[in-house]
């Protein structure tokens, strides 16, 4: 199996936070959604992958031993970094032509046109949505094999988000391309992700195929007396409400068979996150 990203025992410690010995693998040709609350460790992980910060552990990109060589084939959108705001999109093209050997000006200006981004308007004059689209255009315009995206659809309206997701899906037509995407908008990930990694307080709580989470995991609502008859090993988390309980279960088919349960609700990634964090 070809690997776009391989992270082994990644650790990064700050005064008030620790990324705690995490490991995961992104296979080539797939999309991995990286989810978690603010401060969970998502951006620290991404900065480690990109060698922006120092870390302990091992990170390998594109199956290459030379990480600097691999970084040339990576398109990046970060949540907290971009070009000086006095520049415009045309200036960026000039800069990137001398930075990336594979920079494609024609493709870049096509994205600007598709996204309706004025090429001569300073970045500081762009809306947040346009700013984000410009970052994505830059990330795609040098024909990368791997996209690493930190909150790429934040600030975009639903129509613009749909357009961006379609661009990512078109990017994935090439079986050698891969995407690692961190996002708070979990509904977007439900549409495009092959794998979901859920991180909390610097530790990975869940690493699973997206379709397994959405199709096999589920929510069971029950009363206290019903809960007492359900074995603890048959649910992952339980959350108490005023009048009943919600159980996060891993296998709807097995649970239904064992407990003759008629109603097992489907689960969204957002509901999964809430139950994992708020449940016991």
Are 191 and 235 within one domain? Answer: no
Are 176 and 239 within one domain? Answer: no
| Domain finish residue from 162, 189, 210 | 210
| Domain finish residue from 186, 210, 234 | 210
Are 149 and 222 within one domain? Answer: no
d(CA 151, CA 185): 8
**CB atoms inside a 10 Å sphere around CB 103:** 17
Q: Give the per-residue pLDDT at 80.
A: 66
Instruction: Tell me the pLDDT band of 154, cut-offs 50, 70 and 90.
Output: confident
Burial 20-59 (b: 16+ CB within 10 A, else e): bebebbbebebbbbbbbeeebbbbbbbbbbbeeeebeeeb
Are 185 and 237 within one domain? Answer: no
Q: Give the per-residue pLDDT at 133.
A: 87
Are 95 and 199 within one domain? Answer: yes
Are 109 and 15 within one domain? Answer: yes
What DSSP designation does 145 have?
Answer: S
Q: What is the pTM of this model?
A: 0.92
Q: What is the CATH number of the domain that holds 203?
A: 3.40.50.300
Q: Is the pLDDT of residue 8 over 80?
A: yes
Are 186 and 228 within one domain? Answer: no
Are 82 and 199 within one domain? Answer: yes
The total number of structural domains that make up the chain: 2
Are 93 and 187 within one domain? Answer: yes
Are 180 and 263 within one domain? Answer: no
d(CA 245, CA 221): 6
Are 161 and 28 within one domain? Answer: yes
To the nearest whole percent, how much of the chain has pLDDT over 70?
Answer: 99
Q: Is the pLDDT of residue 188 over 80?
A: yes
Q: Give the per-residue pLDDT at 74.
A: 93
Q: CA-CA distances (angstroms) from residue 146 to 50, 181, 190?
A: 12, 11, 20
| Domain finish residue from 210, 237, 260 | 210
- Structural domain including 227 reads 216-278
Taking only the tens place, the pLDDT of each residue in 54-92 is 999 999 999 887 777 888 889 999 876 678 889 999 999
d(CA 179, CA 134): 18
């Amino acid at each position: 199996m070809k690997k776009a990203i391989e992270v082994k025992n990644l650790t990064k410690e700050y005064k008030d936070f620790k990324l705690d010995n995490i490991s995961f693998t992104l296979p080539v040709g797939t999309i991995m959604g990286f989810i978690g609350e603010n401060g969970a460790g998502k951006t620290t992980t991404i900065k480690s992958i990109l060698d922006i910060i120092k870390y302990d552990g091992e990170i390998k990109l594109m199956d290459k031993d030379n990480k600097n060589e691999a970084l040339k084939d990576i398109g990046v959108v970060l949540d907290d970094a971009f070009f000086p705001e006095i520049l415009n999109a045309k200036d960026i093209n000039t800069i990137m032509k001398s930075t990336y050997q594979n920079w494609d000006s024609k493709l870049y200006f096509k994205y600007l046109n598709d996204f309706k981004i004025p090429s001569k308007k300073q970045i500081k004059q762009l809306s947040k949505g346009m700013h984000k689209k410009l970052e994505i255009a830059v990330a795609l315009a040098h024909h990368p094999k791997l996209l690493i995206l930190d909150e790429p659809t934040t600030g975009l309206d639903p129509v613009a988000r749909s357009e961006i997701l379609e661009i990512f899906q078109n990017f994935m037509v090439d079986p050698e391309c891969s995407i690692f995407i961190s996002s708070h908008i979990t509904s977007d990930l439900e549409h495009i992700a092959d794998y979901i990694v859920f991180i909390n307080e610097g530790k990975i709580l869940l690493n699973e195929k997206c379709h397994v989470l959405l199709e096999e995991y589920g929510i069971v609502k029950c009363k206290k007396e019903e809960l007492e008859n359900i074995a603890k090993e048959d649910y992952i988390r339980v959350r108490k409400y005023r009048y009943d309980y919600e159980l996060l279960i891993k296998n709807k088919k097995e649970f239904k068979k064992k407990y003759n349960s008629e109603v097992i609700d489907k689960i969204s990634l957002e509901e999964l996150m809430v139950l994992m964090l708020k449940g016991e």
